[in-house]
């Protein structure tokens, strides 16, 4: 495949994947528009007897299987497309919970935990691909992106456990996944592996900055005069 066709293919795929990947974390303004698409799907799944929790689990299993089976084999494009489809479950389960009145703290907890599993599978699968390719920079960068991505999520969860807010930063989960999925798909379409290595490098930098931003924000909140010192 020629370089021009590779660039065109990656641009076309970017347009196709962006709305799917962006449903992983939706802004308040985007939710009404996306709800028009997801509500009928959610109602259909509820009629089939599926629960929001079961859809969450199915989505995680699908994403993890695609990442850990297809990525290490070098099927980057196929793996990305399968992951993008199953990633929709991350929005559909919330839609189903809303439609059925089954929203609960347990569902939110399960969704958050399984998000970490999906992320680990995606970056783990790409790390295995880098190992197979003998990439000097790809392996450490993808591992660093995996660790820092988990740390981004942990800093927010830990902050909220202490009564603080830490929903700031350059690299939220949606942005991280959009970048890595598009880069993986572009390489699957014929672009050099260096594209994915560079994407991992960018993720490492952005995730590190995000962790720093959240640490600073939480430090300020917990050191305000009205803040109670935390124990433990």
pLDDT at 35: 63
Residue 227 lies in a domain: no
d(CA 1, CA 6): 7
pLDDT tens, residue by residue, 143-196: 999 999 999 999 999 998 888 888 888 888 888 899 999 999 999 999 999 999
Query: Catalytic residue among 53, 90, 111, 115, which?
Result: 115
115 as an active site residue: the answer is: yes
Q: Which long-range contacts (CB under 8 A, 24 or more apart) does 197-204 make?
A: 197/130, 197/135, 197/137, 197/138, 197/141, 200/126, 200/138, 200/141, 200/142, 200/144, 200/145, 201/137, 201/141, 203/141, 203/145, 203/148, 203/149, 203/171, 203/176, 203/179, 204/141, 204/144, 204/145, 204/148
Asked whether the beta carbons of 206 and 230 are under 8 A apart, the reply is: no
With a cut of 50, which residues of the chain have pLDDT below it?
A: 1-28, 227, 232
- Number of Cβ within 10 Å of residue 32's Cβ equals 9
Helix or strand or coil: residue 169? coil
Residue 73 lies in a domain: yes
Tally of domains in the chain: 1
Residue 229 lies in a domain: no
pLDDT tens, residue by residue, 49-61: 888 888 889 999 9
Residue 231 lies in a domain: no
Residue 232 lies in a domain: no
d(CA 171, CA 165): 16
Residue 228 lies in a domain: no
- CATH code at 27? 1.20.120.1760
d(CA 166, CA 151): 12
pLDDT at 27: 43
- Number of Cβ within 10 Å of residue 164's Cβ equals 19
Residue 111 lies in a domain: yes
Residues 6+ apart with CB under 8 A from 67: 79, 83, 118, 121, 122, 124, 125, 126
Residue 204 lies in a domain: yes
pLDDT at 22: 45
Burial of 167 by CB count in 10 Å (0-12 exposed, 13-18 middle, 19+ buried)? exposed
Q: Of 78, 61, 47, 40, whose CA–CA distance to 189 is shortest? A: 78
Q: 203 is in which domain, residue-wise?
A: 3-222
């Amino acid at each position: 495949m020629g370089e021009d066709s590779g660039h065109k293919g990656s641009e076309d795929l970017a347009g196709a994947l962006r709305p799917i990947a962006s449903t992983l974390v939706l802004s308040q303004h985007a939710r009404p528009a996306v709800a028009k698409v997801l509500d009928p799907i959610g109602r259909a799944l509820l009629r089939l007897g599926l629960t929001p929790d079961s859809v969450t689990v199915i989505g995680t299993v699908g994403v993890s299987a695609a990442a850990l089976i297809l990525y290490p084999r070098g099927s980057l494009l196929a793996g990305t497309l399968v992951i993008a489809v199953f990633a929709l479950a991350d929005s559909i389960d919330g839609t189903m919970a809303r439609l059925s009145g089954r929203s609960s703290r347990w569902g939110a907890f399960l969704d958050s935990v399984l998000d970490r599993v999906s992320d680990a599978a995606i970056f783990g699968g790409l790390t295995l691909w880098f190992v197979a390719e003998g990439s000097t920079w790809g392996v450490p960068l993808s591992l660093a992106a995996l660790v820092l991505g988990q740390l981004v999520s942990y800093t927010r969860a830990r902050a909220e456990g202490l009564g603080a807010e830490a929903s700031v930063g350059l690299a939220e989960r949606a942005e991280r996944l959009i970048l890595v999925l598009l880069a993986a798909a572009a390489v699957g379409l014929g672009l050099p592996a260096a594209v994915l290595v560079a994407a991992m490098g960018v993720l490492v930098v952005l995730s590190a900055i995000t962790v720093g931003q959240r640490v600073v924000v939480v430090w300020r909140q917990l050191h305000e005069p009205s803040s109670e010192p935390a124990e433990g």
